Structure formats: structure tokens, C-alpha cells
Structure 1
Amino acid sequence: MRFLGLLLFGITFLFADLVDIYRTQGIDAVKEQLEKKLQEKSYWEKFLEDKNIDYGYYESTKFLIFVDKDTKELKVYKKVDNRFSEILKDSVIIGEKQGDKKVEGDLKTPEGVYKLTNKLTKLDPFYGPLALVTSYPNTFDKALNKKGHGIWIHGMPLNQQREEFTKGCIALDNPNLQNLDKTIDLEESLLLISKDEIKKSTKDEISLILSSIYKWKDAWKKSDIDAYLSFYSKEFKRYDGVELNSFAEYKKTIFSRKQDKTIIFSNINIIPYPNSLNKKMYKVLMDEVYRTNSYKFDGKKELFIELKDNKIEILSEG
């Protein structure tokens, strides 16, 4: 009860403070104060107090599919009331060779976070009754110049003996694959493939990322090029191969125009990112609304970030 009383007092005080700011300075000043609040790590720590973020932070993802290449297990978690609960578990077959996929035909299963982009039926009987298509190579894979395509979650051969390995895909028994397909929604699912068990996220990490996203957005909105570029890793590379120096020069040109910008982020998802680089990484996936007098964008924004020295460093974006 004491905590609830303090919380209500804090909310009442904040509201009164904002009303006074509105009365004396107008609505733009109120918006500025709210934007500053979103840049405070302490705000997000309080926001996350009653939330389970063991597997990351999600505003629009309902299903997480984990594939552990070491144990050769697939687990499916469903989000209910801000918590993910395990609903399916099965053994799988993966690529013949160990390690992270790098080139076409290396017989390795990739490591990372992928969307499920499509469901295929009427396949060669070798792949079973259906296949769920992954988004490999994703933006970060392309930045690392990884090659290959056609990484699926598929079934077992219908008319021949069960295989021992795949060429890089993930395969499971046909009844279990069909059950997986019936259970999940492709558009609300993410696939995490790791070499072993993924270390659980912490509220300290997630609150740092959320506050940093809004600091990065603030620098972007205000065309503060130095503050903006301070969020980028020296290793930054865009999906099309553009490295930090070229990216920075391009942004300096854009920012020099000092255009008024509207930038809104929603449906933010922060996903632990398995990788073979031994980095503490997350993928940030969110909806973005961007407006200037000469340009508008409504779509998805991806950031691939490393947590390093208690700050985020953007390794790639799309």
C-alpha cells in the first residue's frame, strides 16, 4: 500500500507539473518534457518492474520459436499477459556442418533472429507436407556479406527414410510441423536460432536500450549529427555494404538541411540476438513513422545493436 501511495503521489505530481508547464509555456514544452522522460533509464526501469523480460521486450510479437543447435531442440513460447510460456517442444534436425552459416552450400544452419515470411505447400515430398520460409539472410547477415537462401523449417521425407542432417534448414517430424503451423501466427512470430541456450535478458539491459533508442531519436529529430553518430559502432556496416565513414558523410548532408522532422516509434520489440561474433547483441524491430516537408516513410525499422561499456552501439540498420 505504501508503494502504491508513493506511485500515485508521483503521478499526481508529474501531472500537476505538466499542467503548469502547459499553462506557462504551451503544448510543445509539454511534449519536450515527455520526450525527455522517455530518455531516462530510470523511467524504463520503473516501467519494466512488473514485466518478465527473460526473453526480451515485445510490444507486437506473440510467439517466439527457439532453436538450440547444440541440443537440437525447438521450443515455442506464447505471450500471455506480458509473459512467455512454453507451449511446444520438439527435437529437430539441422545442418550437417557445425558453426554459423556464411556461404551458399556450406551445409550450416544460420544463427540469428529471423521472421517467418511465408508458408509453402505442394512441395517436393522430400520436404514433407509444408515449409515455413525464414528471412535469412537478414539485414545483419547481408552486412556481414553472408550468402545463401532458402532456409526453411520443413518436415521429413514422405516417401523415403528420415534424413540424419539437412543442408542448413531446420526439420522436424511431420505431425509436429503441422501442429506448429496450426499453433503460431507467422506475422506475430520470430525465430531465434542459437548455437546453445540463449542467456536471459535483464531489466538493466532492456531499460538501457529503450532509453538509448529515444536519445538516438532525439538527436536524429534535432539534426544533432555528433550526438546521433555517437550511437554508431566503428564496425557499423549497412545491409548494402556502406560503412561508417560514408554513412556519416551522407547523414551530415541530410542533417545540414535542418528540416523539421516528425519521428514516431511504436510496436517496439527488443530481441536477444544469437551470433557467432561473441558479442552481447540485440535486434530492435519497430514501426516507424517519419515525416519531413519533402519525404515520408511508414514502415519497419531494424537496429542491430551491441551492448558495450554500458551503452548501445549500432552495428547495422535497415
Structure 2
Amino acid sequence: MRILGTFLLITTFLFADLIDVYRTQGIEAVKEKLESQLRSQTYWEKYLENKDLQYGYYESTKYLIVVDKYSKKLKLLKKVDNGFSQVANDSVIIGERPGDKKREGDLRTPIGVYKLTNKLTKLDPFYGPLALVTSYPNMYDKILNKNGHGIWIHGMPLNKDREDYTKGCIALDNVNLEKLEQNIDLTKSIVLISNKEIEKSTKEDISLILSSIYKWKDAWKNSDLEKYISFYSKEFKKSNGYDLDKFKQYKKRIFKNKEDTQIEFTNINVIPYPNSLNKKIYRVLMDEKYRTKNYKFDGEKELFLEIIDNRIEILAEG
């Protein structure tokens, strides 16, 4: 009750403050007041206080398929309230060779974060009743010059035995595979594949990322080139191949117009990104609404970012 009372008191003061700002300065000043809160790490720390963030922060993703290559286990987690509940914990077989996938035919299962893009049926009986297709290679994989394709979550042969490894896919018993497929929505599922148990994300990391995203958006909206570029790593690569220098020159041409720019982010998902680089990387997926006088965009914004010395550095953007 004391916590609830404190919350209501703070809310009442904030509401009164916003009314006063609106009365004296107008609606745009109210919007800026709210945006300033979103740029505050303290705000996000309070907002995230009672949320289970060990697997990241999710606004639109509902299911996590977590694969630990070391223990050869697949967990299905479903988002509930402020965290996730475990739906399944099954044994799997993985690629014949250890380590991260880098090349077509290297017999390794990739390490990273992937979407599910399709469900395949009417397969060769060797792959069981169905297969769930992952998005390997993702944008960051391609930037790192990884290649290959056809990384599936599939079943076991319908009419014969098989060896205890795959060519890079993830395979599980057919009954468990069918239960997995029945219990998820492909469009709201993410696959996390790690070489060991995934390192838990923290409230500090997630609040840093969320507040930084809004600071980055503010610099973008206001055409503040130097502040905007300060969020990018020297290793940065754009999905179109631009390195940091080319990207900065491109943005310089855009920003010099000082256009009235409106940017909104919704359905933000901040996902810890297992990797073989020994870096603290997160993959951010969110919906972007972008408007200027001459251009508009509605679609997905994708970032791969690294946390270094309590700040984010964007490694890749799409």
C-alpha cells in the first residue's frame, strides 16, 4: 500500500506539472517533457524494476526458443505478465562440428538471434513431419562475411535412425517438434542460439539501451550530426555496405536540410545476442514511423549494438 501511495503521489505531481507546462507553453512542450523522461536512464530503471529481464526486454515478441549448444537443450519460453514461463525443455541434436557457423558446409550450428521465417511441410521423410526455417544469416552475420543457408529446426527421420548430429540444423524428436510448432506464433517468435547458457541481461543494461535509443532518436530528429554519430562504433557497417565514414557523409547531406522530422518507435524488443566475439551485444528490433515533408517510412528498424564502458555503440543498422 505504501508503494502504491507513493506511485500515485508521484503520478499526481507529474500530471499537475504537465498541465502547467501545457497551460503556459503548449502541447509541443508537453511532448518534449515526456520525451525527456524517455531519454532518462533513471526513468527506465524505475519502469523495469519488477520485470524479469534475464532474456531481454520485449514489447511484441511472445515466444523465445532458447537453444544451448553445450547442453544440447531447447527451451520454449512464453511471455507472461512481467517475465517468461517455461513451456518445454527438450533434448536436441546440433551440427557435427563445434563453434560458430561461418561458412556454407562447415557443419556448424550458428550462434546468434534469429527470426522464424516459414514452416515447411511435405519434406523428405529424413527431416520428420515439418521444419521451422530460421533467418540465418541475419544482417550482422552478413556484415561479418558469414554465409550458408537452410538452418532449420526440424524433426527426426520417420522411417529410420540417424546419426547423433546434423549438418548445422537443430533437430528434436517429432512429437516435441509438433508440440513446439503448435505452441508458438511464428511471427512473434525469436530463436536464441548460444554455445553455452545465455548470459543473463540486467536492468542496468536494458535501461541504458532504452534511454540511449531515445537520445539517439533525439539527435536524429534534430539533425545533430556529431551527437548522432557519437552513438556509432568505429566498426559500424550499414546493411547497404556503408562504413562509418561513408555513413557520416550520407547523413551530413541529409541533415544539412534541417527538415522538420518526426520519428516514432513502437514494439521495441531488446535481445541479448550470443556471439563468439566475446562482446556484450544486443539485437534491437522495433517498428519505426519516420516522417519528413518529402519522405515517409513505416517499417522495421534493426540495430546491433555493443555495450562498452556504460555506453552503447551501434555496430550495424538496417
Q: TM-score by structure 2 length?
A: 0.98
Contact 1:67 1:75 in 2 (8 A): yes
State the match for 1:253 in structure 2.
Answer: 253
State the match for 2:21 in structure 1.
Answer: 21
Q: How many angstroms does 1:10 deviate by?
A: 1.4
State the match for 1:137 in structure 2.
Answer: 137
SS of match in other structure, 2:236? coil
Q: How many angstroms does 1:12 deviate by?
A: 1.2
Distance in 1 separating the partners of 2:120 and 2:266: 30
- Percent identity between the aligned chains? 70
State the match for 2:108 in structure 1.
Answer: 108
Aligned length: 318
State the match for 1:76 in structure 2.
Answer: 76
Q: How many angstroms does 1:4 deviate by?
A: 2.5
Q: How many angstroms does 1:3 deviate by?
A: 2.8
Q: What does the per-residue CA deviation read over 1:103-157, in whole Å, with 9 as the maximum and x for residues that have no partner?
A: 1111111110000010000111111111000000111111111111111001111
Moved over 6 A (4+): none
State the match for 2:87 in structure 1.
Answer: 87
State the match for 2:173 in structure 1.
Answer: 173
* RMSD (CA atoms): 1.0
Distance in 2 separating the partners of 1:41 and 1:304: 20
Q: What does the per-residue CA deviation read over 1:217-273, in whole Å, with 9 as the maximum and x for residues that have no partner?
A: 000000101110000011111233321111111111111111111111001111110
State the match for 2:302 in structure 1.
Answer: 302
SS of match in other structure, 1:267? strand
| Equivalent AA in structure 1 for residue 65 of structure 2 | I
Q: How many angstroms does 1:11 deviate by?
A: 1.2
State the match for 1:62 in structure 2.
Answer: 62
| Equivalent AA in structure 2 for residue 223 of structure 1 | S
Farther off after superposition, 9-18 or 102-111 = 9-18
Distance in 2 separating the partners of 1:55 and 1:133: 22
Q: What does the per-residue CA deviation read over 1:27-79, in whole Å, with 9 as the maximum and x for residues that have no partner?
A: 11111111111000000111111211111111111110000011111011011
SS of match in other structure, 1:33? helix
Superposition pairs for residues 237-276 of structure 1, below 5 Å?
Answer: 237-276=237-276
State the match for 1:212 in structure 2.
Answer: 212
Superposition pairs for residues 116-135 of structure 1, below 5 Å?
Answer: 116-135=116-135
Whether 1:52 aligns to 2:72 is: no
SS of match in other structure, 1:42? helix
Q: How many angstroms does 1:8 deviate by?
A: 1.7
Contact 1:142 1:240 in 2 (8 A): no
Distance in 2 separating the partners of 1:87 and 1:77: 6
Gaps of 5+ in 2: none
Q: How many angstroms does 1:163 deviate by?
A: 2.4
Distance in 1 separating the partners of 2:218 and 2:252: 16
SS of match in other structure, 2:232? coil
Distance in 2 separating the partners of 1:167 and 1:239: 28
State the match for 1:222 in structure 2.
Answer: 222
State the match for 1:291 in structure 2.
Answer: 291
Distance in 2 separating the partners of 1:60 and 1:250: 32
Farther off after superposition, 31-40 or 237-246 = 237-246
Q: TM-score by structure 1 length?
A: 0.98
Q: How many angstroms does 1:83 deviate by?
A: 1.5
Q: How many angstroms does 1:80 deviate by?
A: 1.2
Distance in 2 separating the partners of 1:314 and 1:132: 30
Contact 1:225 1:255 in 2 (8 A): yes
Q: What does the per-residue CA deviation read over 1:82-116, in whole Å, with 9 as the maximum and x for residues that have no partner?
A: 21011101111111111111111111111100000
State the match for 2:43 in structure 1.
Answer: 43
Farther off after superposition, 169-178 or 239-248 = 239-248
